[in-house]
Amino acid sequence: MCFRSSDLKVSFAASANANQLPQHLLPFRKVEGYAGSALFRGRKGSIQVAPPDRLQRRMLIPTALGNQPIVVRGSRKASLLVAYRLAVLSSDESELQKFKGKKVAGHELITDSRTIQSLLDAGAIDPGEMYAAILSGGAR
């Protein structure tokens, strides 16, 4: 997960010492305001990233109409969608069958290899394009 201002990564911010931050990085308190429950303090006071989060991500899901932008809530669903897109990229039938009957944000994942191949051939989906473009730039 990235935050603008030179693409500060939460995990890097969590491990960085606030007094020694390079000029292009955001202070931890500001990152904490954006990340919220995705961060927590460890036993010795260090900042850590929580494994499962409920943050929203704008991602693209392959549908019969092409890539559709959706809002995915949580790291587990986002990871599922990324794994699915990698299976689509590999075109491996057995990998695609692992996602049969699975849904992300109310959309059932396409597992029919012929349908996927026809969408790829038509240029309707791009398996390498996972995240929807965010029109408003910068962190708020």
Find the mean pLDDT for residues 84-93.
86
pLDDT number for residue 24: 60
| pLDDT single digits (tens) 118-132 | 988 888 887 677 666
The residue among 26 and 80 whose pLDDT is bigger is 80
With a threshold of 0.75, does the pTM exceed it? no
The sign of the dihedral angle between the CA atoms of 11, 15, 17, 23 is: negative
The residue among 12 and 46 whose pLDDT is bigger is 46
The percent of residues above 90 in pLDDT, for the chain, comes to 17
Res. 22: pLDDT tops 70? no
Q: Which of the residue ranges 50-59, 69-78, 129-138 has the most confident prediction, judged by mean pLDDT? A: 69-78
Which letter does DSSP use for residue 91 in this model? Answer: T
Listed by start position, the domains of the chain span 2-49, 56-122
Closest by CA to 49, choosing from 6, 84, 2, is 2
The sign of the dihedral angle between the CA atoms of 129, 130, 134, 135 is: positive
